[in-house]
Structure 1
Amino acid sequence: MTLEALAPELGLFVLQTSRVGGLIAAAPLPWKEAPVKLRAGLVLTLAFLAHGMPGASPLEPLNATRTLLAVPTEVLVGVAMGLVVRIAFSAADVAADAVGPLIGLAVPSVFDPLTLSSATVLSRIFGLLMALLAVLVGVHRIVISSVLASFRVLPAGSAIDPSLATFPLLKMVVSTLVLGLRLALPLAAVLLMTQVALAFLSRAAPAMQIFSIGFAVSLVVGAGILMVSLPDVASGMAADLSSIGFRIEVVVAALMGR
C-alpha cells in the first residue's frame, strides 16, 4: 500500500481519535482518575474499534487540509457527548448544595478529583453515590457504545456544526437543576421545619440557649433524614442515569440537523 493510499486512513483515524478523546476528557467517569497513559490507551483502542466499523468512513476522501480543519470540530462533538454525562452527574451537586447549608455541612470541604476543585462533604458523598450508581447502571458501557455508534450516523470528517448541540445541552441543564432540587426537597423541608421549631423554642425559653445546640440538632436530624431518604434519592439518580444513552442520541441527532 502506497503512502498516498494510507494518508486518508490515517486522517480518518486522527479524526476518530479526536472525537473519542473529547468524550473521554469531558465525561466524569472513573477513567478521569486513571493515569494519562491508560486514558490514552483507551482513546486509541476505541478509535481503532471505530475505524474498523462499517459505514464509519466519510463520503468524500480526506486530505491533509480537510483533516486538520476537522480536528477541532470532532473534539467538540466528543465534548458535547461527554457533557451529557457531566450534566447528569451535576444533579448530585445541586442536591448537595441545596441541603448542605441547612445541615451545616457547607463549610467543611474536601478535594474532588473529578472537578479538580474543593467540594463539600455532602457533595462528595452524593458524588460517590452517583458514581457507584453509574457503574451499576452501566453508564460506561452506554457511553462507549454511543460514541462508537455515532460514527455510523455521523462519520468523522463530516460537515458538522457543533453549535447545534447547544440547545439540547441547555435543556438537559434545566432538567438536571429540576432533578437536583426535587431530590433535595424532602430533606430541605424537614430541616427547614427543624430550624423553625428551634426558633420558636428559643423564643419561648430564652434561657435554654437553643442556638448553642442548634447546629448539633440540625446535624443529627439531617443525618437521620438523609439515611431514611437515601434509597429514594438513589432511585431518582439511577432513573436519571439510565436515560443518558437517549440524551446522547438527542445530541447526535441535533448535530445531524434533525
Structure 2
Amino acid sequence: MAAPGLITFSEAQLVGWLSPILWPFLRVLALFTAAPLFSIRAIPARTKVGLAFFVAVCAQPMLAEQPMVMFNGPAALETVLQQLGVGLALGFAVRLVFASVELAGEVIGLQMGLNFASFFDPTSNAQISAVGRFYGQMALLLFVVINGHLLLIMAVVDSFSHFPVNGNFLQSLGQMKLHQLGSSLFSSALWIALPLMALLLFVNLTMGVISRVAPQMNIYAVGFPVTLTVGLLGIMATLPMLEHPVLTLMQQAIDLFSAQK
C-alpha cells in the first residue's frame, strides 16, 4: 500500500503515456538517419533526436489510436524493428531518387570525358565524378525548393495509417514493394541523360568524320575541348528540365508509403 500523499503510477499507465509517442519517435528518427538533407553529418545527432521527438509529439492529433505494447515483452522488440524498418525504408526510397539523378550525371560525365575528375563523397562514402556531384547538388536544391523535407514528414506520419504499429515487419516490407522503385532507378537515369548522350554521340560522329576528311588534324587535341564545351552547353540547356523527372520519382517513392493499399 502506497504511503499517503505520494503519487504512484502503474506500469500500464506509463505504457499508455509513452507508447503513443515512442513508436512514432523511433520511426521518424530512423527516417532522419537515412533520408537526404536530414542525414547530413553537419547536423548534430542531438538536433536530429530533438527534431524527431518534436515531430512525434506534434503528429499525435493526426495519428490513429496506437496499440499499447508492453516494453518488457517480446512484442516490444518486434515493434522496434518494424518502426526502424519502415523509417529506414522511406529514407532509402528517397535516397534512390538522388541516386538516379547522380547516375545520370555519371553517364553524362563519361560521355564528356570528365569521369577522371572524381573525388571522395563523404555522403555516399564512394568516389563520384564532378558531373555526378553537380547533378546531385542540383537535385538536393530542387528537393528543398519543392519542400521535399515537409513531404517526407507528411509521408512518415501518413505511413502509420498503412503500416500501423503491429510488430509485423516482414508484412510491412512486403507491402512497400521497394523493388518497383529500384527498377525505375536505371530507366529514369537513362531518360535524364538521354538528350546529352544523343548530342555528344552526334559530336563524336562529327569529329570522326572530320578526322577522316583531314587526317593531319590532331583529333585528340581538338576533340576533347569541343566535347567538353558542347557538354557544358547541353547541361545548361537541359538543366531546367530536371524538375519533371525528379518530381515524378519523388511522388513514386512517397506513394509507396502513402497510397491506398
Name the TM-score class by shorter chain.
0.7 to 0.9
What runs of 5+ residues in structure 1 fail to find an aligned partner? none
- Partner Cα separation in structure 1 for residue 20 and residue 167 of structure 2: 11
Q: Is the 8 A contact 1:84 1:248 kept in 2?
A: no
RMSD: 2.3
Deviating above 4 A after TM superposition, structure 1's stretches of 4 or more consecutive aligned residues are: 51-54
From 85, 90, 110, give the equivalent of 1:76.
Answer: 85
- Partner Cα separation in structure 2 for residue 200 and residue 54 of structure 1: 65
From 182, 196, 213, give the equivalent of 2:191.
Answer: 182
1:49, distance to aligned residue in structure 2 (A): 2.8
Query: How many aligned residue pairs are there?
Result: 250
From 47, 52, 71, give the equivalent of 2:56.
Answer: 47
Q: Looking at CA atoms only, which structure, 1 or 2, has the larger radius of gyration?
A: 2
Q: Is the 8 A contact 2:81 2:167 kept in 1?
A: no
What runs of 5+ residues in structure 2 fail to find an aligned partner? 1-7
Alignment partner of 1:206: what SS? coil
Name the counterpart of 1:23.
31
Residue identity matched to 2:173: S
- Partner Cα separation in structure 2 for residue 135 and residue 20 of structure 1: 19
- Partner Cα separation in structure 1 for residue 25 and residue 86 of structure 2: 12
Q: Is the 8 A contact 1:187 1:222 kept in 2?
A: yes
Give the alignment's TM-score, normalised by structure 1: 0.86
2:9 matched to 1:2? yes
Q: 1:30 to 1:105 in 2, by over 3 A?
A: farther
Percentage of identical aligned residues: 28
- Partner Cα separation in structure 1 for residue 63 and residue 240 of structure 2: 43
2:173 matched to 1:163? yes
Cα deviation 1:3-30 (Å, max 9, x = unaligned): 4120354345333222112211121125
Name the counterpart of 2:21.
13
- Partner Cα separation in structure 2 for residue 238 and residue 154 of structure 1: 24
- Partner Cα separation in structure 2 for residue 169 and residue 214 of structure 1: 42
Q: 1:54 to 1:225 in 2, by over 3 A?
A: closer
- Partner Cα separation in structure 2 for residue 123 and residue 165 of structure 1: 32
The structure with the greater share of residues assigned to helix is 1
Q: 1:233 to 1:152 in 2, by over 3 A?
A: closer
